[in-house]
Amino acid sequence: MNATGQSVNRQDGRLKVTGAAKYSAEWSLPNLAYAVPVQSTIAKGTIESFDLGAAQAAPGVLLVMSHLNRPKLAPPETLESVGMQVGESVLPFQSNVIRFNGQMIAAVVAETYEQARYAATLVKVNYRTETPFVVMEEGRDTAKKPKGNNGREAQLVRGTPDSTFASAARKIEATFKTPHEHHHPLEPHATIASWEGDKLTVYDASQGVGGPQRALAGMFGIPATDVRVVCHFTGGGFGTKGGVWPHTLIAAMAARVVGRPVKLALLRQHMTTTTGHRPATDQVLRIGSSTDGDISAMRHDVLTDSHEPSRFFETAAFASAVLYEVPNFAMEHAVVNVNIGAPTYMRAPGEAPGTFALEVAMDELAYALKLDPVELRLKNYAEMDPQKKIPWSSKQLRQCYARGAEMIGWKDRRAEPGMLKQGRYRIGYGVATATYPGNRQAAGARVRLYPDGRAVAAAGGNDIGTGAYTVFRQVTADALGLPIEKVVFELGDTTFPAAPVAGGSWLTASVAPAAVEAAEMALQAIAALAVADARSPLKGRRVAELSFGEGRVFLEDQPKVGETLAAVVQRTGQPYIEACARAETMRAARDSGGLKQRQKPPCVLVEPSAETDRDEEKYSFHSFGAQFCKVRVDSELGVVRILDWASVMDAGTILNPKTARNQIMGGVGFGIGMAMSEETPYDPRNGRPVARNLADYHVAAHADVPNIQVEFVNIPDPHINRLGVRGVGEIGIVGVPAAISNAIFNAIGRRLRELPITPDKVIG
Ligand code: MOS
């Protein structure tokens, strides 16, 4: 039986539950020293001087490093030339300028962690303080309008949105707000850096080993092949571990200076300042429709904040451009630079806050028209990408709505708010649409067949808790015709064939096809060896006559004539037979000079087949889904309980229903946190985050999360890759806050357009 498509348990499950999985902070290197950062307590200004005497004299201190004595790093432009973005865009310790509260301005390195942490408290900083700019809304009039983001336009007009809206029979116009949020993965960032001569090895909590490798090589001016990054396990990322943040560079700088391996492990408090966040948004949605619900115009204007010179901004209106068939559409993104740490990608960046506005506004329109909210969405269903005017690669959203409505019991919903009562509680139902791009990147993988019949495959990608190890193991086992117990998949090392960062929901869609290609190439190598070997029962046959399965190579017509893969490997006398593959998208192949197969040691570049490999000029790639929920609102106390959830997702082929379901459950839970409690407020006087622990920043806990029903349409996307698989990492959060806000309206008739929906707003 094929392993692909089965609910196979995680390859790394036992390691994790027994504590044997080694996370980045847990490597013990001989002679390890410990670094603790010193952070700025002002948000803007300069460092005039340090008083370091006490810190330097403290027990065990090896080094106090700052802009005064650090190794010089290459200028930041170098980063872009190596294709790497350091999260903060401004490198640590390169000048005395302070740009946000919490900026790392010095680091103490000592023999023990406790000594470093104590000495760090003794560092005295003399600042020249300037008035910081903290409140986004105050910069509205001078906000910048970025042209685009990753090749997609950020300012867009199609048709005549404003005049059509002005003359529309029904109009919705509303303002929505989402706050700053932090990723807060369970595992805080940590880096251990170790130099041997000019070669650097780094254990780094990361979503991708390739990024830190390129950044460190660029910053220290050494070849990427001299930097090895290892990260076998990542305790959650959600975007915060997708880039390279200052602590990683500081650990490497400090290790260079003290001539010993250095560990820099962040505290939970550090995670609120120097490792990114989701920026706040202030969004205005305008939708115009006919009296029977045909949407004629839409405008989505976004104000958000960022941190100069970072070019990251929250692309909150992107989903609005494609989700419904809207002939006249405009979007605008305006960005205010503030003196708080740099923002970054956070689970479904853009889509998560953007669809809160869009999908609540759609609900408002449904009520204004007295239409069922599902019916309104079906009426305006986009049969093709309304912006690019090309077909979807695959879209099964109708099925998601229909099945989700059944699962939640939508027929029990009453159109009029407040009709379903349970004592002092009101019950409400809500729906929202989910979408996220179906991304894919070039990726490599290798497969080694061993003489004992086992196979070990590897790729330089990372499993950040998603199940990547497991699904890659499944597809590799099937491609090799081996039982899954005979196959191990390894990830998280730059010595493996390069693969993309685990972000953008693209890792599975990128690496799985490469793993299958590598497995097939390994079997071809076995076949070629067998037919050429006098000791093989297949000697003299043509490779085309052969077939593979159950660990054997045999004649397709006479399956009894053949031998085990292991026997072929044994006779070579080699430790293993290896094949590498690199699977590319059409765009990557075009960018790298055409579709011709190229030899690029150690990997063979596989020629993409024209019909199956994500040609984004022909097809628009998106995953879709429907989120349905049932809530209970205490209309006196404002307390909301989410009673039931149904999430139906169209993400192409589902390789492993169990791990995919985990991803959607995680996304819905994340969305419940976003909807109900998550918020990092900043002190407007000094730009300091005032929710710096998991008590003040409440992520959804078990008691906040109901039973989450998850189903997948599980129809392959015929155009993204040979497996038909898109990603499921981000789409689970999309639409969740809107579905909850819509359900609360259905329960009590109160429209909530600002996150998080805390009880004061519900009764306010
Ligand atoms: Mo994702 S926010 O691209 O890690």
- Average pLDDT, integer, range 87-98: 87
List, in sequence order, every beta strand (DSSP E) within 320-419: 328-337
- For the cut 80, the answer to whether the pLDDT of residue 568 exceeds it is yes
User: Same structural domain for residues 430 and 445?
Assistant: no
For position 245, which CATH number holds?
3.90.1170.50
Q: Rounded CA gap, 309 and 303, in Å?
A: 17
Is 575 a member of any domain?
Answer: yes
Say if ligand 1 is within 6 A of residue 675 CB.
Answer: no
- Average pLDDT, integer, range 358-383: 98
Say if ligand 1 is within 6 A of residue 352 CB.
Answer: no
What is the per-residue pLDDT for 1? 72
Say if ligand 1 is within 6 A of residue 92 CB.
Answer: no
Q: Rounded CA gap, 443 and 173, in Å?
A: 44
In the block, which residue shows the tokens 């942490």?
A: 117
Rounded to the nearest whole angstrom, what is the distance from the C-alpha of residue 239 to the centroid of ligand 1? 4
CA 110-112-117 angle, to 5 degrees, is: 70
Is 611 a member of any domain?
Answer: no
Rounded to the nearest whole angstrom, what is the distance from the C-alpha of residue 240 to the centroid of ligand 1? 8
Residue type, 88: E
Measuring CA to CA, how many Å separate 23 from each of 16, 112, 267, 464? Answer: 10, 19, 15, 11
What is the per-residue pLDDT for 612? 59
- Average pLDDT, integer, range 469-476: 98
Single residue among 576, 591, 606 that ends a domain in this structure? 591
Window from 58-72, 402-416, 585-599, 603-617 with minimum mean pLDDT:
585-599
Say if ligand 1 is within 6 A of residue 207 CB.
Answer: yes
Rounded to the nearest whole angstrom, what is the distance from the C-alpha of residue 702 to the centroid of ligand 1? 24
User: Based on the number of CB atoms within 10 Å of its own CB, is 565 exposed (0-12), middle (13-18) or buried (19 or more)?
Assistant: buried
What is the per-residue pLDDT for 88? 73
Catalytic (active site) residue 730: yes
- For the cut 60, the answer to whether the pLDDT of residue 111 exceeds it is yes
User: Same structural domain for residues 265 and 281?
Assistant: no
- Average pLDDT, integer, range 169-196: 98
User: Same structural domain for residues 543 and 632?
Assistant: no
User: Same structural domain for residues 446 and 431?
Assistant: no
Could you give phi then psi for residue 666, rounded to 5 degrees?
-60, -40
Strands 328-337 and 295-306: parallel
Q: Rounded CA gap, 404 and 378, in Å?
A: 14
Q: Of 410, 347, 354, 350, nearest to 378 (Cα)?
A: 410
Is 612 a member of any domain?
Answer: no
Rounded to the nearest whole angstrom, what is the distance from the C-alpha of residue 505 to the centroid of ligand 1? 7
- For the cut 80, the answer to whether the pLDDT of residue 668 exceeds it is yes
What is the per-residue pLDDT for 610? 45
- For the cut 60, the answer to whether the pLDDT of residue 391 exceeds it is yes
User: Same structural domain for residues 630 and 540?
Assistant: no
What is the per-residue pLDDT for 716? 97
Question: Is the distance from CB of 115 to CB of 63 less than 8 angstroms?
Answer: no
Rounded to the nearest whole angstrom, what is the distance from the C-alpha of residue 726 to the centroid of ligand 1? 15
Q: Rounded CA gap, 138 and 132, in Å?
A: 12
Single residue among 553, 573, 591 that ends a domain in this structure? 591
What is the per-residue pLDDT for 592? 55
Question: Is the distance from CB of 439 to CB of 478 less than 8 angstroms?
Answer: no
Is 361 a member of any domain?
Answer: yes
Query: Which among 241, 275, 345 is the best mutation to test ligand 1's pocket, defined by most ligand atoms within 8 Å of the CB?
Result: 345
Q: Rounded CA gap, 536 and 706, in Å?
A: 59
pLDDT band per the 50, 70, 90 thresholds, residue 642: very high
Rounded to the nearest whole angstrom, what is the distance from the C-alpha of residue 312 to the centroid of ligand 1? 13
* Average pLDDT of every residue of the chain: 94
- Average pLDDT, integer, range 385-403: 97
- For the cut 90, the answer to whether the pLDDT of residue 348 exceeds it is yes
Which atom from ligand 1 is nearest to the alpha carbon of 347?
Answer: 2
User: Same structural domain for residues 250 and 338?
Assistant: no
What is the per-residue pLDDT for 38? 98
What total number of domains does the chain contain?
3
User: Same structural domain for residues 284 and 396?
Assistant: yes
First to last CA, the chain: 58
What is the per-residue pLDDT for 82? 56
Say if ligand 1 is within 6 A of residue 179 CB.
Answer: no
Say if ligand 1 is within 6 A of residue 346 CB.
Answer: yes
The continuous run of DSSP H or E covering 479 comes out as helix 468-480
For position 499, which CATH number holds?
3.30.365.10
Is 200 a member of any domain?
Answer: yes
Measuring CA to CA, how many Å separate 583 from each of 361, 414, 587, 604? Answer: 41, 50, 12, 9
- For the cut 90, the answer to whether the pLDDT of residue 594 exceeds it is no
Which one from 137, 607, 730, 754 is the annotated catalytic residue? Answer: 730
- Average pLDDT, integer, range 212-223: 92
User: Same structural domain for residues 677 and 727?
Assistant: yes
Q: Of 379, 517, 373, nearest to 446 (Cα)?
A: 517
User: Same structural domain for residues 245 and 367?
Assistant: no
Cα 147 to the center of its chain, rounded Å: 23
- Average pLDDT, integer, range 562-584: 94
User: Same structural domain for residues 151 and 213?
Assistant: no
Q: Which residues contact 446 (CB under 8 A, 6 or more apart)?
A: 457, 458, 459, 496, 497, 518, 578, 579, 580, 581, 602, 603
What is the per-residue pLDDT for 148? 87
Say if ligand 1 is within 6 A of residue 185 CB.
Answer: no
* Percent of all residues in the chain with a pLDDT value above 70, rounded to a whole number: 95
Q: Is the pTM of this model over 0.85?
A: yes
Query: Which among 506, 730, 731, 733 is the best mutation to test ligand 1's pocket, defined by most ligand atoms within 8 Å of the CB?
Result: 730
Is 147 a member of any domain?
Answer: yes
Say if ligand 1 is within 6 A of residue 345 CB.
Answer: yes
Measuring CA to CA, how many Å separate 215 from each of 91, 221, 235? Answer: 11, 10, 22
Q: Please report the DSSP string for 244-255 in residue order.
A: B-HHHHHHHHHH
* Count of Cβ atoms closer than 10 Å to residue 721 Cβ: 29
**For ligand 1, atom 4: residue with the closest CA:** 239
pLDDT, tens digit (0-9, with 9 covering 90-100), for 397-435: 999 999 999 999 999 999 999 999 999 999 999 999 999
What is the per-residue pLDDT for 683? 97
- The range of the structural domain enclosing residue 44 comes to 17-131+186-236+241-272
Single residue among 272, 287, 318 that ends a domain in this structure? 272
- For the cut 60, the answer to whether the pLDDT of residue 670 exceeds it is yes
Q: Rounded CA gap, 392 and 388, in Å?
A: 10
User: Same structural domain for residues 431 and 530?
Assistant: no
Q: Of 107, 109, 120, nearest to 60 (Cα)?
A: 109
Q: Of 400, 351, 404, 415, nearest to 628 (Cα)?
A: 404
DSSP state of 272: G
Rounded to the nearest whole angstrom, what is the distance from the C-alpha of residue 242 to the centroid of ligand 1? 7
Say if ligand 1 is within 6 A of residue 347 CB.
Answer: yes
- For the cut 60, the answer to whether the pLDDT of residue 597 exceeds it is no
Q: Is 501 left (phi over 0), alpha (psi -120 to 50) or beta?
A: beta
User: Based on the number of CB atoms within 10 Å of its own CB, is 16 exposed (0-12), middle (13-18) or buried (19 or more)?
Assistant: middle
What is the per-residue pLDDT for 79? 66
Is 602 a member of any domain?
Answer: no
What is the per-residue pLDDT for 80? 65
* Percent of all residues in the chain with a pLDDT value above 90, rounded to a whole number: 89
pLDDT, tens digit (0-9, with 9 covering 90-100), for 475-508: 999 999 999 999 999 999 999 999 999 999 999 9
- Average pLDDT, integer, range 497-525: 95
Say if ligand 1 is within 6 A of residue 343 CB.
Answer: no
What is the per-residue pLDDT for 379? 98
User: Same structural domain for residues 505 and 426?
Assistant: no
Per the structure block, which two tokens stand in for 184? 């807060």
Question: Is the distance from CB of 669 to CB of 120 less than 8 angstroms?
Answer: no
DSSP state of 2: -
Is 23 a member of any domain?
Answer: yes
pLDDT band per the 50, 70, 90 thresholds, residue 530: very high
